[in-house]
Amino acid sequence: MLTLTSTQGDDVREALRTAERRTGLRFAAYLGPAIGPRRHFSERLHAALGADADRAVLVFVDQRGKALEIVTGSLAGKWLPDAECRVAATSMAAMFGLGDLVGGLVTGVLLLADQASRRR
């Protein structure tokens, strides 16, 4: 798992809380390598959210492996279809490519929240 500074961690947590307040969905992020195939791993992480999984959005980022996955539960997926997740992923990937991991994650989470709140 990637280690963030205290300020970076605070920025990510605040973005997740803001996204949750705006949408009523649960947002989570995992920064680190996958154990096994990345999509399967990110889906397992999402399922580990338990009772919240149906209304949850998980953003998985493996910076070293240059991997990004967005997993939505059945309810969250109604508000965030794949096409909208791809827009957020493209935005995040562009910022990651510039070396701004935290800025990309924060921007992506808030973009997902904005898209979801428009569809509610």
pLDDT digits (tens, 9 = 90+) for 81-102: 999 999 999 999 999 999 999 9
Query: Can you give the pTM of this predicted structure?
Result: 0.93
Query: What does DSSP assign to residue 102?
Result: H
* Cβ–Cβ < 8 Å for 63, 96: yes
Give domain status of residue 1, yes or no: no
**CATH number of domain containing 60:** 3.10.310.50
Q: How many domains does the chain have?
A: 1
Strand partners, 70: 59
Side-by-side strand order, sheet with 56-62: 26-31, 56-62, 67-72
Give domain status of residue 99, yes or no: yes
CA distances 18 to 41, 71, 114, 119, Å, are 26, 19, 10, 17
Report the mean per-residue pLDDT for the chain.
94
pLDDT bracket for residue 120 (50, 70, 90): low
Domain that holds residue 37: 6-119
**Helical segments of the chain, H only:** 6-23, 38-47, 74-79, 82-97, 101-119
Distance CA 107, CA 101 (A): 10
Q: What is the residue whose two structure tokens read 């949750």?
A: 20
Look at residue 110 and give its three-state secondary structure: helix
How much is the pLDDT for 63? 83
pLDDT tens for residues 32-64? 999 999 999 999 999 999 999 999 999 999 988
Name the helix (H) or strand (E) containing 72: strand 67-72
